[in-house]
């Protein structure tokens, strides 16, 4: 079976294989103080092949060649299409991956970086602390601030992490 788990609302999602998912989650739970939540468990004709297809599809959001992936809107959409504990063929999984990709807006978002920096300062956060809270690298945060562009997911995640509202979100071409 293929499982999808995460620790909290904005944490990365782990995609793994286990014959006994509950046992596997308990084993992974011993390595973290945050409660792991199982999002979905699916059955497939060939778990290794299907998991690899999912890994390949979401390779841009894969974290350090691990089994953890950023909680992108596309990955969350994909999970929304799956029914827990249902059996899926590779063809069905590819169909849902393609639908999830088409359901995500391809806009770049320009944010008011000064507003985010002000919230960070009021909470005594530096870029490293914000990066850790978001499950990103400090370099990713630094680059985002430098170019003033990010994804809508990151904007929402930053606002959630800083307990603030981002009032100026401008779609750019």
Structure tokens that stand for 150 in this block: 């990010």
Q: Which helix (H) or strand (E) holds 42?
A: strand 37-44
Half-sphere exposure of 117 (CA within 13 A, CB side): 9
- Return the pLDDT at 115: 72
- Return the pLDDT at 32: 80
For each of the domains in the chain, give its residue range(s) and CATH number, in order of start: 2-102 (no CATH), 108-172 (1.10.260.40)
- Is the pLDDT confidence value at 108 over 50? no
- DSSP alpha helices (H): ranges in 103-137? 113-122, 127-134
pTM: 0.60
Band of pLDDT at residue 107, cut at 50, 70 and 90 = very low
């Amino acid at each position: 079976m293929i499982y999808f788990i995460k620790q909290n609302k904005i944490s990365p999602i782990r995609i793994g294989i286990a014959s006994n998912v509950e046992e596997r989650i308990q084993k992974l739970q011993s390595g973290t103080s945050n409660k792991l939540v199982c999002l979905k468990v699916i059955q497939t004709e060939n778990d290794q092949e299907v998991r690899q297809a999912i890994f390949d599809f979401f390779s841009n959001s894969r974290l350090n060649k691990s089994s953890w992936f950023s909680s992108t809107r596309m990955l969350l959409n994909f999970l929304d299409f799956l029914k827990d504990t249902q059996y899926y063929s590779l063809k069905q999984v590819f169909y849902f991956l393609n639908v999830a990709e088409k359901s995500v807006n391809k806009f770049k978002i320009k944010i008011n970086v000064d507003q985010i920096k002000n919230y960070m300062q009021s909470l005594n956060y530096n870029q490293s602390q914000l990066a850790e809270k978001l499950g990103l690298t400090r370099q990713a945060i630094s680059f985002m601030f430098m170019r003033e562009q990010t994804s809508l997911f990151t904007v929402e995640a930053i606002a959630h992490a800083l307990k603030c509202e981002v009032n100026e979100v401008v779609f750019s071409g």
